[in-house]
Amino acid sequence: MGQYDEHLGESLSALMDGEASDLDTRRVLKALASEDSHNAMQMRDKWRRYHSVSAVMKGDVASTIDYSEAIAHAIGNEVVFKTSPLAKILNSSGRFAIAASVALVAVLGVQQFNQSANLTDEAAEFAYIDETSVEGVVGPANQFPAGWALSEKTQVRTVSAESVEKKAYSQQEGRAYLAYVLAKHASNAPYIRNQGMLPYARLEDRKTRTDQE
Amino acid sequence: MTAIFVSTSAVSQQNRVAYDLVYSMIEASNTLNYLGLVTYEKEGRLKTSKMLHLIRDDMTFEQLTHLDGPAGQISWRRTNGNCGMERAWDADAGSRPILNEDSFGRIKASYSFEIRGQSRVAGREATTIILKPKDKFRLPHFVAIDNQSNLMLMSVILSLSGKPLERFQFVEIEVGGELDTMLMPNAQANLDEQCVNAFGQQNQGEWNVGLVPSGFFLTNSMKESLTGQTVLGFSDGLTTFTVFIESAQMSAKIPPFTYNHGATAAVSTKIKVQGDEYTVSIVGEIPADGAKKIAQSVKQASKILKQP
């Protein structure tokens, strides 16, 4: 008995006892894969013997019939349902179509979003002027700031200036307000000059600000 | 026992040195002329600017010029030296202005200071200090102070978990020299007169911020007559936050939101007063959770007075 056979026997025994390592399992499966080889036949015999012994020791009925050959034969006689090449193409293209449509929706969605944003620029500008109070509003109104999160209960939709009365919040007004309070805070912060000019660095505004307040 | 005493004494000595350094840093930023290149970084974005800071008598001129991205410049001229920290003339110190002990005490009361070692920033030797807040209404600061001029060369604001949120750093700086005799630029600038008001004498007007974290004091308050907006500025000498209370009319257009970008948090919430809905927004370099609590504590002062 060669060293390989010896290792194979040990691996089979370990598998039988439920103590097989990954290496043992792979070794046994590899030997079984070569169906007609000497090793495979030996392995099958050993496996059957081990189980018979084990069953007898436990007091179970030990069957000496080898079902494996019969099962293999039955499987071999099964009618094969061949897949048509067309079905294969349709199947894969279906998946592709779904992916493509998702992408298309995404692209259209972005375009529509941009379009609606452009369409509401005028309204936003009107609202902007209406809020002049908000002198010194800085930062582009269409800049969606990173880190922005609306309250979950907030109903936000793009509205025209006329429908502001409905109390639906405009994203652009919200963004403009956020830019405004951030800039005003950054402008106020230098009063506390213990950090030197650091608060100025936080200003997002890139416009020249030299007007008298 | 002796070892413990020596160790405690050493820590105490180190704290004292750290306090003195931060004290000197604040003073330097209010008294020295400097010109430098700075980088400001947050959430992967880096801005480079040139900063000019000049002081002549009771006038301070500050200018920031953006060196990348869209061109821009901010110029500021201040006419009052008493902004932010209360400063007093100390007879023993001659004409050298010093910080009021009470106001510096606020920083000491709000943060613990710890020297972290020596570093090199903008080609200059610097001492690094970490300022750890004593509550959850502030963020930790990691600063590098120039060993020569005591100016702050680097400031990193960290999250409560220690993650860097923003970094401000000089890459090159020139202190004093020709800047001390340079003529004040004639550029048109924002004129800051609001801080002429004496601190401590201001009140919050018709609104009252119920939860002002210990150590913070009101630095400025104003009401816009046109919009009815009330703005209240608070500081502990290092960290600032601003409270905005919008009129009921303006509030109808402002959604409640939470915003976090770098070290800056902005929280906007709604409060109801006698059937009207007002928007209260808090903006500052403070944790968003703290900002929310402060926003929710705002009440109309007149209403409070009515309560028995």
Please judge whether B253 and A170 are an interchain contact, meaning their C-beta atoms are less than 8 angstroms apart: yes
Q: How confident is the model at residue A46 (pLDDT cuts 50, 70, 90)?
A: confident
B86-105 pLDDT tens trace:
333 222 222 223 344 555 67
Supply A10's token pair: 């040990």
A196 closest CB neighbour out of B152, B226, B227:
B152
User: Which range among A53-62, A118-127, A195-204, B136-145 shows the weakest confidence by mean pLDDT?
Assistant: A118-127
Q: How confident is the model at residue B2 (pLDDT cuts 50, 70, 90)?
A: low
Average pLDDT over residues A68-81: 60
pLDDT, residue A139, reads: 35
Could you tell me if A67 and A75 are in contact, meaning their C-beta atoms sit under 8 angstroms apart?
no
Average pLDDT over residues A177-205: 68
Task: Detail the DSSP E strand segments found in chain A.
Answer: 148-150
Phi and psi at B113, nearest 5°, equal: -105, 140
Please judge whether A191 and B227 are an interchain contact, meaning their C-beta atoms are less than 8 angstroms apart: no
**CB atoms < 10 A from the CB of A189, how many?**
27
Give the 3-state secondary structure of residue B132.
strand
Dist. CA B74–CA B177, nearest whole Å: 24
For an interface test with B, the pick among A129, A130, A162, A191 (most B C-beta atoms closer than 10 Å) comes out as: A191
Residue A113 predicted with pLDDT over 50: no
Please judge whether B62 and A178 are an interchain contact, meaning their C-beta atoms are less than 8 angstroms apart: no
Average pLDDT, chain B: 80
Dist. CA B151–CA B34, nearest whole Å: 9
Kindly give, in sequence order, each residue whose CB lies less than 8 Å from that of residue B7, ignoring residues fewer than 6 positions away. none
B72 closest CB neighbour out of A167, A190, A205:
A205
Q: ipTM beyond 0.90?
A: no
At A122, the amino acid letter reads E
Please judge whether B75 and A209 are an interchain contact, meaning their C-beta atoms are less than 8 angstroms apart: yes
Q: Name the percent of chain A lying above pLDDT 90.
A: 0
A53-72 pLDDT tens trace:
666 665 555 555 555 666 56
Paired with A105 in beta bridges are: none
Q: Of B41 and A105, which is predicted with more confidence?
A: B41
Q: Angle A9-A14-A16 (CA atoms, 0-180°, nearest 5)?
A: 95
User: Which range among A116-130, B184-198, B259-273 shows the weakest confidence by mean pLDDT?
Assistant: A116-130
User: Is A5 within 8 Å of chain B by CB?
Assistant: no
**CB atoms < 10 A from the CB of B110, how many?**
22
Dist. CA B225–CA A209, nearest whole Å: 23
pLDDT, residue A63, reads: 54
List, as ranges, residues 150-189 from A with C-beta within 8 Å of B: 150-151, 153-154, 156, 164, 167, 169-170, 173-174, 177-178, 181-182, 184-185, 188-189
Dist. CA A180–CA A178, nearest whole Å: 5
Average pLDDT, chain A: 56
Compute and round to an integer the Cα radius of gyration of chain A: 38
Compute and round to an integer the Cα radius of gyration of chain B: 21
